[in-house]
Amino acid sequence: MKLPPIAHVAPRRLGEAVSRLADAPPGQALPLAGGQSLVPLLASRDRTPRLLVDLRDLGELTGVGEHDGFLRIGAMTRQHTLATHARIGAAAPLVAEAAARTGHASVRHRGTFGGTLAHAAHPAQLVVAAYALDARLLVSGPGGARTTALRSLFAGPGLRHDEILTAVELPLRGPGSGHAFGQVAHPVGGRPVASVAAVVDTAPDGTVLRAEVTVGTRVSPPTAVDVTHRLRDAGAAAGETVPTGPGQPQWQGPPTGPPAAYCRHAVRVLADRVLTEAITRARRPGAGAPPVPSGSGHDAPPVPTRETP
Ligand SMILES: Cc1cc2nc3c(=O)[nH]c(=O)nc-3n(C[C@H](O)[C@H](O)[C@H](O)COP(=O)(O)OP(=O)(O)OC[C@H]3O[C@@H](n4cnc5c(N)ncnc54)[C@H](O)[C@@H]3O)c2cc1C
């Protein structure tokens, strides 16, 4: 379907972008990032704003850098950059892996980290990876900037209509940490049906100190399960997060989706697989992200990234 007429602005300052959103009633002005989810929603009339506030020229939303023990990634960082950036691959390999599994090349060259998290599709690869890493979100609104946990967005009301997600912060993980990601995707179009991520920490002798499996499916929101003491039946524990009833199907395509029983089975199989892989990786010599270099703390400037417009 053709897009309806919609006004479009591309502010160069974050404050102006926030004002444009705040000046309009909820739903009448929307941020536009890569457009990979929003444009189809406009075309189908699921969203009917009068104004799009394009984030493409906001320098505050770009860059990759370290900040106070976190890897900070600008919200407008494209999925392709997440998958290929050397620092992200070293410090947050789970995010790089999830980004590489998202959509296809043309989607990844436009879709952004911030847009994917703001859209918050439950089985989205990057949503599950960022949830597994307990990501923090930097958000700007009319009242100023705030930091919130991604996990709290799914537990609460989410972003306000006049707030812009500016950056994502991922905790830098130390030696002995490991991760793995797995998904079942729809055979047509490749969108995820179920995504599962495992994050583990091990002692120098290989003992598992902490193991967590995060699950997001088309019928259930992202949920993290502590399986430190259930390593042998982690699949069953993860599967319990998927409702056996009809659940709350969250599906961006036709109003049909896989039944909950299929999602639960997929999660059980994936969870055992990714946990085994994460533990194997954690026990490899030199596993885990390098520790934060001294002096790279609080005010370390972000490293600019080259972005595909
Ligand atoms: C063919 C196809 C295949 C796809 N396959 C997958 C897949 O396998 N996995 C997957 O996860 N996704 C998939 N997608 C969706 C894609 O990953 C989108 O890029 C992503 O969901 C949204 O990112 P975006 O930058 O395009 O955001 P947009 O589409 O521009 O925006 C999405 C929503 O977030 C809001 N928003 C955007 N940026 C911000 C911000 N900084 N602050 C506040 N709100 C913001 C917008 O207002 C909108 O409501 C696919 C899309 C297509 C077209």
Residues of the chain with pLDDT under 50: 247-255, 290-309
Centroid of ligand 1 to alpha carbon of 38 (angstroms): 6
Give a yes or no: residue 306 inside a domain. Answer: no
Q: Which residues pair with 215 in a beta bridge?
A: 196, 223
Is 264 found in the same domain as 183?
A: yes
Q: Whose CA is nearest to atom 33 of ligand 1?
A: 119
Residues 81 and 143 in one domain: yes
Residue whose CA lies nearest to ligand 1 atom number 20: 116
Residues 6+ apart with CB under 8 A from 246: 219, 259, 260
| Residue range 80-128, pLDDT digits in tens | 999 999 999 999 999 999 999 999 999 999 999 999 999 999 999 999 9
CB of 202 closer than 6 angstroms to any ligand 1 atom: no
State residue 133's pLDDT score.
Answer: 98
> What's the structural domain count of the chain?
3
Decide if 165 contacts 176 (C-beta within 8 A).
no
Q: Is the same domain home to 164 and 255?
A: no
Among 37, 41, 126, which residue has the most ligand 1 atoms within 8 Å of its CB, making it the best to mutate? Answer: 37
Label the pairing between strands 51-54 and 29-32: parallel
Q: At what angle do helices 93-100 and 125-132 cross, to 10 degrees?
A: 170
- The answer to whether residue 304 is domain-embedded is no
Residue 161 and residue 65 share a domain: yes
Tell me, yes or no, whether 299 lies in a domain.
Answer: no
Q: What is the pLDDT of residue 245?
A: 62
Q: Which domain CATH number covers 207?
A: 3.30.390.50
From residue 305, give the alpha-carbon distance in Å to each of 78, 111, 149, 269: 10, 15, 24, 37
pLDDT value for 257? 63
Judge whether 154 lies within some domain: yes
CATH value at residue 95: 3.30.465.10
Minimal-distance CA residue to ligand 1 atom 41: 165
- Rounded to the nearest 10°, the torsion over CA 143, 131, 301, 81 is -120
How confident is the model at residue 293, as a pLDDT? 36
Closest to 162 in 3D by CA, of 26, 60, 39, 48? 26
Predicted pLDDT at 4:
87
Could you tell me the residue range of the domain that residue 44 belongs to? 7-54
Residue 22: per-residue pLDDT: 98
Residues 68 and 33 in one domain: no
Is the domain of 73 the same as that of 22? no
What separation in Å is there between the alpha carbon of 104 and the centre of ligand 1? 13
CATH number at residue 15: 3.30.43
Q: Between the CA of residue 287 and those of 85, 94, 135, 249, what are the distances in Å?
A: 19, 13, 21, 37
103 within ligand 1 shell (Cβ under 6 A): yes
Residue type at 191? R
Tell me, yes or no, whether 24 lies in a domain. yes
Q: Are residues 78 and 162 in the same domain?
A: yes
- Same domain for 221 and 128: no
- Token digits of residue 248: 């709350």
Q: How many CB atoms lie within 10 A of CB 7?
A: 11
Question: 182 with 232, same domain?
Answer: yes
Q: Kindly state whether residues 187 and 121 are assigned to the same domain.
A: no
Q: Give the strand pairing for 208-217 and 192-202.
A: antiparallel
291 domain residue, yes or no? no
Contacting residues for 188 by C-beta, under 8 A, at least 6 apart: none
The pLDDT value recorded for residue 206 is: 95
Residue 292 resides in a domain: no
Is the CB of residue 190 below 6 angstroms from any atom belonging to ligand 1? yes
Residue pair 14/53 in contact (Cβ under 8 Å)? The answer is no
**149 in the same domain as 208:** no
Residues 197 and 164 grouped into a single domain: no
Q: What integer pLDDT is reported at residue 300 of this predicted model?
A: 31
